[in-house]
Structure 1
Amino acid sequence: MNKIRPYILMVVLVVIFIIEFFLSLSIGSVHLGIKHIYNTLYNGIFSNVPIIAPSQGPFHDIVWLLRLPRILLAAIAGAGLAVGGAVMQAIVKNPLADPYVLGISSGASLGAVAAIFLGFGASFGANFIGICSFIGAFGISLLVLIISQIGKKSDSIKLLLTGMALNMACAAIASFIIYFANDKEGMQTIVFWLMGSFSGAQWNELHIIIPIVFLGIMFFWTQHRILDMMLLGDKTAVTLGINLRKYRQLYLLISAFIIGFIVYACGMIGFVGLIVPHVIRIFIGTCHRYLIPLAAITGAILLVMADVLCRIIINDTEIPVGIIVSLIGAPGFVYLIVKKSYSFGGEE
């Protein structure tokens, strides 16, 4: 298929995101008109009163305290997961890789299970589940790096195999804890958490998460040449005087750090990091100079849309966002595979 100019695609996606942003603010159990949204945003931005201050009216509370934090968290999580997926696919040179491929998901799950069923990290406060999941995700990533260094030098295959081994080990331990816990309330909590939710979005967390994820995306954008080189393989890179091993380790740690914060804020949300990079490659090719920003905006669009759907499909009930993402993404991914001529690396 003919490729689309990246700049045109970026403009189209930005316009879609802006439209989606205002629609997301208006849709919910209480419908808000554009005029109400505009006035509420304007008053919140230019007022001397802090936006989290109480008694500023129902429109202010709905927009500033409920919907806007959710939208921003969904957008930054989608952007981070999509870019993390693109980076991981380059690191391990595998089209089936996603941000959780090297054991990050199982490490996060084990941390959450230990927090919910064993009470680990209760001293961290109300967000102890997210904090423990972050520790588990980042800790497993460090362990993958350490183990992959044993014996011969680490490469993409060794990283992938090490991650798979630790993934199975952590999953087994988490399953063992759940099996013997006999805690129905804990089971409901862990199931909902493992499927992801933006209901806990808070401004004090967004002040930390948004800069971290944004700076991580910008960093990977500056590394587009190295990421392109990773798709060519280590042997080709060596002939050009580039040692990919140190870059691979650095990128893995930064990706794990970003994904850990996303998991901390909204739980586990799969499929975004797998499908979004593939969809973008179909339209613009494999150059990471364009793939990184386009994947970021597309991931943001996908999760904001999924968050709206999970709030409105069933009245007075919120469906875990991970279910919506899978229902949207899986059929679309199958369609793209069947209808488009595409292979990993962007060749037709």
Structure 2
Amino acid sequence: MINPVPKHLRKNKQQRYKLLMVALAVILLISMTLAVMIGPVPIPPLRVWQIALSQVFPNVTGDWTQAQVQIVWLIRFPRVLLAFFVGAGLSVVGVTMQALVRNPLADPFILGVSSGASVGAVLVIVFGVFSFFGVYAISVGAFLGALLAFVVVFFLARRQGRLRSTRLILVGVAVSYLFEAITSFLAIKAGSGEATRRVLFWLLGGLSGTKWTDLILPVLALLVGLGYLLVQTRSLNALLIGEETARTLGTDTDSFRKQLFLVISLLTGVIVAVSGVIGFVGLMIPHSVRFLVGSDHQRVLPVSLLLGGIFLIWADVLARTLVAPEELPIGIITALFGAPFFIWLMQGKEGGR
């Protein structure tokens, strides 16, 4: 018989979780402030928020210059916010994928989902596919590409109704290479000029040139996806334990998997459409969060969202300051952190066998 967790321990655990969320919220506020301040033209922290408030409340006035308004409100603030939402979205996708395939190595980059989304986006850029969707064409193309890649990986990795970790990773890497090859071929077909430059953007990932309008779809997709996942935390917990357990607890696993396919593909597609392919965030953040708060998705999802957003804000700061005035692709920064983490995680799994 399994003894229930004592009430005082549950209370202490809940208090620690609340303190963690408050701490992350404070760190997020500080990170956003510093990220807007840092740049070729430094802006004092108080002025950052005075300018931001003046754009929301016209009666707020001060002695800042119009150039500072342009830098803070039109250049840095939307970029920092997009970094947060992209990092948050990739982390949420990573949490969901790891529950769906029951593998801590699952990540939209490693399993080829990001590469599939990139192919869909590049098809729109180079050949004008889905152009009838107007400004949303790239997001639609990326969503369909991500969905296709995820379905291919999932079904190729299944053997006799079971998913094996090693097979899943190998199939994911193979599919990722396949879609990257297709993307490279499309880049060659694009020739030289603006189309080629945009294709390279999808391959490397970056947040430069972010406008306020770029935030609309990522924010909406994240709100919808996160809202759905928070409602389904019980089913996610059951699925992480095992398919038989999930069925025993009343979860229609086949239907639930299809819904998760759509959520993962939607979030990945929208994120890739605005930021390009950024790897390893969905691997590192969820795995780290489970060390902090356990495996209950009711806690893992919100903490992953905040921590992933904070991480990518600072990754973007490094990308634009390490070799200033040049700017590094943000995917290089996340890979510098993510590749060693992936190797460490692989060694841990091998050692635990």
Tell whether the structures are fold-level matches, with TM greater than 0.5. Answer: yes
Shift of the alpha carbon at 1:268? Answer: 0.9
Alignment of 1:45-84 (within 5 A): 45-47=56-58, 57-84=66-93
Alignment of 1:175-194 (within 5 A): 175-178=184-187, 183=192, 189-194=198-203
Aligned with 2:267 (options 258, 261, 273):
258
Unpaired runs of at least 5, structure 2:
1-12
* Residue aligning to 1:52: none
List per-residue Cα deviations over 1:281-311 (Å, max 9, x = no partner). Answer: 1122111111000000000000001111111
Shift of the alpha carbon at 1:29? Answer: 1.0
Q: Is this contact kept in 2: 1:102–1:144, CA < 8 A?
A: no
Q: Which moved more, 1:290-299 or 1:231-240?
A: 231-240
Alignment of 1:171-210 (within 5 A): 171-178=180-187, 183=192, 189-210=198-219
List per-residue Cα deviations over 1:198-243 (Å, max 9, x = no partner). Answer: 1132212313321221231122122111111011111222233332
TM-score w.r.t. structure 2 length? 0.80
Q: Is this contact kept in 2: 1:92–1:156, CA < 8 A?
A: yes
CA separation of 1:178 and 1:333: change in aligned 2, threshold 3 A: closer
Q: Is this contact kept in 1: 2:319–2:329, CA < 8 A?
A: yes
CA separation of 1:267 and 1:80: change in aligned 2, threshold 3 A: same
Q: Is this contact kept in 2: 1:13–1:298, CA < 8 A?
A: yes
CA separation of 1:125 and 1:246: change in aligned 2, threshold 3 A: closer
Alignment of 1:47-196 (within 5 A): 47=58, 57-100=66-109, 103-118=112-127, 120=129, 132-141=141-150, 144=152, 148=155, 164=172, 167=176, 169-178=178-187, 183=192, 189-196=198-205
* Residue aligning to 2:31: 20
TM-score w.r.t. structure 1 length? 0.81
* Residue aligning to 1:29: 40
Task: Tell me how many residue pairs correspond in the alignment.
Answer: 332
* Residue aligning to 1:216: 225
Shift of the alpha carbon at 1:43? Answer: 1.1
Unpaired runs of at least 5, structure 1:
50-55
* Residue aligning to 2:16: 5
Shift of the alpha carbon at 1:89? Answer: 0.5
Aligned with 2:53 (options 35, 42, 45):
42
Q: Is this contact kept in 1: 2:105–2:345, CA < 8 A?
A: no
Q: Which amino acid aligns with 1:39?
A: Q
Q: Is this contact kept in 2: 1:83–1:292, CA < 8 A?
A: yes
List per-residue Cα deviations over 1:60-117 (Å, max 9, x = no partner). Answer: 1111100010011110111110010010010011111113465422322222443455
Distance in 1 between residues matched to 2:332 and 2:324, nearest whole Å: 17
Distance in 1 between residues matched to 2:152 and 2:346, nearest whole Å: 31
Distance in 1 between residues matched to 2:341 and 2:107, nearest whole Å: 17
- Secondary structure class of the residue paired with 2:210: coil
Shift of the alpha carbon at 1:256? Answer: 0.8
Distance in 2 between residues matched to 1:337 and 1:286, nearest whole Å: 19
Q: Which moved more, 1:107-116 or 1:118-127?
A: 118-127
Distance in 2 between residues matched to 1:62 and 1:119, nearest whole Å: 33
Q: Is this contact kept in 2: 1:108–1:263, CA < 8 A?
A: yes
Distance in 2 between residues matched to 1:219 and 1:103, nearest whole Å: 24
Percent of pairs identical after alignment? 38
Q: Which moved more, 1:244-253 or 1:82-91?
A: 244-253
CA separation of 1:247 and 1:254: change in aligned 2, threshold 3 A: same
Distance in 2 between residues matched to 1:305 and 1:162, nearest whole Å: 31
- Secondary structure class of the residue paired with 1:29: coil
